A and B are shown apart, each in its own frame.
Chain A
Amino acid sequence: MATNHIGKPKNRVDGLKKVTGSAKYAAEFNAPGLVHGVVISSAIAKGRIKAIDTHDALEIEGVLHIFTHENTPGLAWFDLSYKDMDSPPGAPFRPLHSDEIQFNMQPIALVVAETLELARFAALRVKVEYEVETHNTKLADSLDEAIEGKGFRAGFEPPKSIGKFEEAYEAADIKLETEYFHGAEHHNPMEMHASTVIYEEDGGLTIYDKTQGVLNSRHYVSMIFGIKRKKIKVISPFVGGAFGSGLRPQYQLFMATLAALELKRPVKVELTRPQMFSFGHRPITIQKLKLAASPDGSLQAVSHSAYSETSRFEKYVENVVNWPKKLYRCENVEEIYKLVQLDMYTPLDMRAPGGATGVYALESAMDELAYKLNMNPLELRLRNYTDEDKGKEKPFSSKTLKECYRVAAEKFGWSQRNPEPRSTREGHNLVGWGMASGIWDAMQTPARAKARLSADGKLEVGSATADIGTGTYTIMTQIAAETLGLPMEQVTAKLGDSSLPFAFLEGGSTTAASVGTAVKYVCDKIARKLLKEAGKIDDSPFKGAKMEDVVFRDENIVDKQDDSVFIPITEVMKLRGLGTIQKKTTALPNFLKQNKYSRNTHSAVFAEVKIDEDLGTIKVTRIVTAIDAGRILNAKTAHSQILGGVVWGVSMALEEDSFMDHHYGRFINHDLAEYHIAVNADMPDIDITFVEEEDHVVSPIGVKGVGEIGLVGVAAAIGNAVYHATGKRIRSLPITLDKAMSEVSAI
């Protein structure tokens, strides 16, 4: 379909604001009389607060108040009141609720002062005495305490085995048993979590929050503090990265709201970088895989089990072991998913939660199997290719993975691969090639949107979604402009405001499909209204015309049969005396249609690494990936999304690791100097291809979503390349130089 805007590589409509610094983030809003809150974090992992001495701190002039569990007013009593739209099963953490310490760096006090400097200084003068209890933060030593990973949570599919794994495994010719591990990771968006809460004269609140869902923040504040929703306005026009960390309201929102309500003044609370390590993270997992195949590579049995950590108070669950049934044709699949409760904060969705880690282990094990079978790893994937989700026994709504494999393999030059590990050298370096598949869910969630067309032909569309750097503003603008035949410059997209129509959390790669459809629908409504009005004009050629008879193009309504018959949209508005046309609509997923299919995005990833044989230093030199994500709305922002995912994959494979010091029960490398995220100098040449297939089951606009799929599979492809280079299978992430160094060296 020829389009003017959709699919084109359009620049971000908010790009200029971002690069010129005029885009405002949660901590950049101001109000007369604004005061600052600084959070004090617990120094222990478990125990009780014996005493908090705030005397010296309160003596400082300009210090207004110090909130602790001792003086925080009675708030909502039920756990339910603290639940948000992304809560896992359990009892959510309640800040300043009691003297109990449940995890290290738990927020235990908020110092509020006239200036940030005073608040920070005063925080240093608060003395805390603890009664220390023994904590446990060791996953590996606590597997015998594991409990079933189950419970209701949006997007979570409890593990479900199919066929007879044990029997099939025992009977098979080729067997593989292996285990993978990765440490914790923290999201570390560039913008730290912050909330600026303005106390309004009528007792209402205006809240500038860093969040992936303004409605979630509003719900949370409303429930805990007992304020009617209509008196709370949550605004979040720009988010400096989130990656899942903004899916749940974080404690700075609670703290700033508490202080604003008590002091009846505007309050700002921004977390420090170390405090960004004090809440949700990607959970550590230990994964065991058993694969059995016949000599031709056909999978006979797969067992995927995972042990994952969670807190004592919530059971965080994600889809770690659910992928083999969707990726491969195998009749006997065992899935085991267990949780170990530790004295840590609850994990939190992080870009491709469960998928990034589960597929890492699965695709690494598949590579091991390929070598065991003496088979090309790509051929093994193709041998077990499936057009059906074996668990649901449903076909895929769309799937171009086979073409993704072909395109990416060809671009990479995979056919030139020497199958022998340690077979390619360049000077000191061993060169290795690896590949992996990726998969993620494709979903549409309910969303609403509104639109207003003005007499001058300018259009405003809005939905209470977020743009966390993904390009939501831009695709909303493109879809609206396309639908009504307007230039993008005439369209303004609004989001990140709780007074706008409902949208679910901006996560899980669902926003383009969900909000995009709502925007399309509401603009269709405006189009229909315009056509109807055009038909009412005297001697109108559009009298009685139906939508299928016309196109909206170049700011005109045009007769499909005859280009010369058209009327400018502004003329319709003028001649009909219309000041504005306003519409609102709801886009609901077609569950009946969707339930007939399994809906996923897919990817093929090929990686080249060069490893210094003696020193172990690893450089990823090439990544080629091909992506099956349905229709692409914006070739540029979608490309950037995948690019970001691949960069994350390199980072995950080689660098990221929040290291837990078990003596203190505390993540110890809690800053960006020591928690390594890949830098520019680490980045290889990244080649991205979209293998498009419009998917009208996932969403009426054909979109499947690009937020997570770029990341899934990358770490496995790199790990597999490391094996091919060195002959050494490294089964834990990150793959640092000490793991990659060869045992013996010529020097």
Chain B
Amino acid sequence: MRPFSYSRAEDIDTAVNEVTAHEDARFIAGGTNLLDLMKIDVIHPQHLVDITHIAHDTIENTEDGGLRLGALVTNADTAYHPEVEKRYPLLAHAILAGASPQLRNKATDGGNLLQRTRCYYFYDKTTACNKREPGSGCAAIDGYNRLHAIFGASEHCIATHPSDMCVALAALDARVQVTGPDGSRTIPFEDFHRLPGDTPEKDTNLREDEIITSVDLPPKGFADHYTYIKNRDRASYAFALVSVAATLEIEDNVIKDARIALGGVAHKPWRNKEAESLLIDKPADRDGFQAVAAAIVKEAKSFRYNEFKIELARRSIVRALMEASQTYQ
């Protein structure tokens, strides 16, 4: 670990000012990923701005009938919040499928969005990784790529985003509120994370001097029909090989709204709205679910060690939709 300086911000404005004022500065909240990466010298900020005292640590109703998750609410407090459990059970399930109780107690909702990939090569400085060191190459493409992407990868990077929470947020069409030197803006969840393209060092569209203040959930929580399936190599404390968040709105066995988000398969939580629309105004049955699953995996592309993910994704989508169509309060 390299030496760094540290300051604590008391509110959003000073936080943004501090991070702008210092060269190579980062915000730190739970630090559950940032500190690990600093210890192994994968990232080495010169200054850390502690944002754990800037408030934004509550969950509140919004005027439009949705729910605002303050950026500094912990993952654990979010998952066990009565309003989340009642109105957005998908989100609670997804959060609890990730990490460990200790990590969820420490990690914040804003930080969850900003966690880095778990690609082995990103974590090993002796190997090539364009995300860690732009221009050095991608060791995963011809290496051990069991964990890697089947959607939206590029020749520069095939890493995946590891979050479970974000898969649920993608399905729920959450909005990310951010503040920077130029004021505040709202980023729709699907635009928050990005595909690697030729700049895999950038995980998100958040600017370096911007800070997440909250994650807003729209009123529709799909509490009647939802599922989160996480396939992984052990029952706890493992990142998803393929995960699926599925939500349905059903009236008289006819689907009125459907969302399918996949985790562990791309550089961002993966959605295919065109495919999802195949379900609309159709009966909630296996044929329809198989059709949409086939449409989603049609554009998948695998590498040497992750071919299984394509069929696993297809089956998991069908399974998730079948389960979601049956869940009732």
Contact = CB atoms under 8 A, between A and B. Distances in A.
Interface of A: 43-44, 117, 120-121, 124, 274, 428, 614-617, 619, 654-655, 659, 661, 663-664, 666, 668-671, 673-674, 676, 678-682, 736-738, 741, 745, 747
Nearest to A104: B126
B284 to A, nearest CB: 14
Contacts of A654: 233-234
B235 A664 contact: no
Contact of B124 (A44, A668, A736, A737): A668
Secondary structure of the A contact surface, majority rule:
loop
B234 A669 contact: no
Contacts of B3: 121
Contacts of B308: 737-738, 741
Which residue among B3, B231, B318 has the maximum number of chain A CB atoms within 10 Å of its CB? B231
B230 to A, nearest CB: 10
Contacts of A615: 229, 231, 312, 315-316, 319
Given A615-B315, A661-B139, A681 B124 contact: no
Contact of A614 (B118, B237, B241, B319): B319
Given A124-B2, A679-B236, A747-B322, A670 B311 contact: no
Contacts of B322: 747
Given A615-B231, A619-B235, A676-B234, A668 B121 contact: yes
Contact of A668 (B120, B286, B311): B120
B2 A682 contact: no
Contact of A741 (B40, B41, B286, B312): B312
A128 to B, nearest CB: 10
B192 interface: no
Contacts of B142: 663
B144 interface: yes
Contacts of A117: 1
Interface string B294-329: 000000000000001001100110110010000000
Nearest to B162: A673
B319 A747 contact: yes
B143 A668 contact: yes
A252 B236 CA distance: 32
A616 B118 contact: no
A49 to B, nearest CB: 14
7 contacts: A663-B142, A668-B121, A671-B123, A681-B235, A737-B308, A738-B312, A747-B289
Nearest to B100: A679
B290 A747 contact: yes
A669 B126 contact: no
Contacts of A617: 231
Given A616-B312, A663-B142, A669-B120, 6 more contacts: A654-B234, A671-B123, A738-B308, A741-B308, A745-B315, A747-B319
A618 to B, nearest CB: 10
Interface in B235-288: 235-239, 241, 286
A274 B42 CA distance: 14
A612 B167 CA distance: 23
A44 B124 CA distance: 12
Contact of B236 (A671, A681, A737): A681
Contacts of A659: 144
Contacts of B41: 124
A737 B144 contact: no
B127 interface: yes
B312 A661 contact: no
A383 to B, nearest CB: 37
Contacts of A737: 231, 233, 241, 308, 312
Interface in B85-121: 118, 120-121
A681 B120 contact: no
A274 B126 CA distance: 12
B2 A669 contact: no
Interface residues of B, number: 37
B102 to A, nearest CB: 13
Nearest to A671: B123
A274 B127 CA distance: 14
A274 B311 CA distance: 33
Contacts of A614: 315, 319
Contacts of B234: 654-655, 676, 678-679, 681-682
Contacts of B237: 673, 679
Contacts of B233: 654-655, 676, 736-737
> Which of A44, A274, A617, A654 has the most chain B CB atoms closer than 10 A to its own CB?
A617
A603 B239 CA distance: 35
Of all A-B residue pairs in the complex, the 3 with the closest CB atoms, nearest first, are: A738-B308, A681-B235, A43-B126
B178 to A, nearest CB: 29
Select the residue from B239, B241, B289 with max chain A CB neighbours within 10 A: B241
A679 B100 CA distance: 11
B315 A663 contact: no
Given A121-B1, A124-B2, A737-B233, A747 B315 contact: yes
Contacts of B2: 121, 124
Contact of A120 (B1, B239, B315): B1
Contacts of A736: 233
A737 B241 CA distance: 10
Contacts of B312: 615-616, 737-738, 741
A664 B140 CA distance: 11
A588 to B, nearest CB: 46
Contacts of A671: 123
Given A737-B231, A747-B318, A674 B118 contact: yes
Name which of A274, A616, A669, A674 has the most chain B CB atoms within 10 A of its CB.
A674
Contacts of A747: 286, 289-290, 315, 318-319, 322
B311 A741 contact: yes
Given A655-B233, A741-B312, A747-B318, A664 B241 contact: no
A668 B144 contact: yes
Contacts of A44: 126
A615 B322 CA distance: 14
Contacts of B316: 615
B231 A661 contact: no
B1 A664 contact: no
Interface in B21-63: 40-41
A681 B143 CA distance: 30
Nearest to B142: A663
A673 B311 contact: no
A304 to B, nearest CB: 30
B118 to A, nearest CB: 7
B37 to A, nearest CB: 12
A656 to B, nearest CB: 10
Nearest to A617: B231
A655 B126 CA distance: 26
Nearest to B143: A661
Contacts of A669: 120, 144
A47 B299 CA distance: 43
Nearest to B39: A120
